[in-house]
Amino acid sequence: MTVLTGDCRKEMPWHAPYDLIIADPPYGDTSLAWDRQVEGWLALARAALKPSGSLWVFGSLRSFMATAGQFSEAGLRYAQEIVWEKQNGTGFHADRFKRVHELAVQFYPVESAWRDVYNEVQITPDAVARTVRRKRRPPHTGRIDAGHYVSYDGGPRLMRSVIPLRNCHGRAIHPTEKPVALLEILIRTSCPEGGLVSDWFAGSGAVGEACRLIGRRYIGCEIDPAMAERARARLASLLPFGSGRSP
């Protein structure tokens, strides 16, 4: 469990390869001084992944549309996305929809096959056990192959791509802190137990807390020294894996 202080573009390639990279960069949606897009990190992140590794990036639709070409230029292929539904959110305009969601999008290196990218099926625990088989590839799924999964307690209840979870208002260390429960889901599905998760824009270290709770190794990087120190203190206050919640 380490939080480095510095620029992820300089620090993070040294510790590769990673099973999973989680990145919550400044979205570049506002004119605020800290909300500036970071250039050039995507190609470095792709090169730092294991062949079975993937990258989850947080953002708004606006931020993904503004940077779409950069993902393909960096050799990253879109895989899937989830929507995090918050209980409250921001509105840029008083007379438009109140925005209560954010996106997290998964990418993987173009030289990898999607079927070889690590995946642990996420299920919800409210249905009957059974084996779910997809015999043929549905015509609309492109590169995604046929497959099956054995669900011991979730039956047909594959986890849905819209995930409602409270945000961290009132107890947040960082103004854009992500909930640990959401991060746990992304990490479980994309990183094997004991694998190495790399958090390129660490903020409060929420990804590190999720890793500690579910038994993954963690290395984060934060450019703001004061925030990096708070993230380190947060992680130092957690019990070792296995002494608290089980995975």
Ligand X SMILES: C[S@@+](CC[C@H](N)C(=O)[O-])C[C@H]1O[C@@H](n2cnc3c(N)ncnc32)[C@H](O)[C@@H]1O
- Stretches 7-15, 65-73, 94-102, 103-111: which one binds ligand X (CB under 6 A)? 7-15
Sign of CA dihedral 176, 33, 200, 104: positive
Q: Does 206 bind ligand X (CB under 6 A)?
A: yes
Find the shortest distance in angstroms from Cβ 198 to ligand X: 12
CA distance between the termini of the chain: 17
Sign of CA dihedral 210, 215, 216, 217: positive
- Stretches 86-94, 130-138, 199-207, 236-244: which one binds ligand X (CB under 6 A)? 199-207
Half-sphere exposure of 48 (CA within 13 A, CB side): 26
Buried-exposed string 140-172: b where 16+ CB fall within 10 A, e elsewhere: eeeeeeeeeeebeebbebeeeeebeeebbeeee
Rule CB under 6 A: which of 31-90 touch ligand X? 38
Find the shortest distance in angstroms from Cβ 194 to ligand X: 23
- Stretches 66-74, 118-126, 153-161, 169-177: which one binds ligand X (CB under 6 A)? 169-177
Q: Does 189 bind ligand X (CB under 6 A)?
A: no
The helix-helix angle for 180-190 and 206-214 (nearest 10°) equals 60
Among 71, 201, 218, 241, binds ligand X (CB under 6 A): 201
Nearest partner of 147 among 118, 117, 115, judged by Cα = 115
Nearer to ligand X, 237 or 243 (CB): 237
- Residues in contact with ligand X by CB under 6 A are 7-9, 24-26, 38, 174, 176-178, 201, 203-204, 206, 221-224, 227
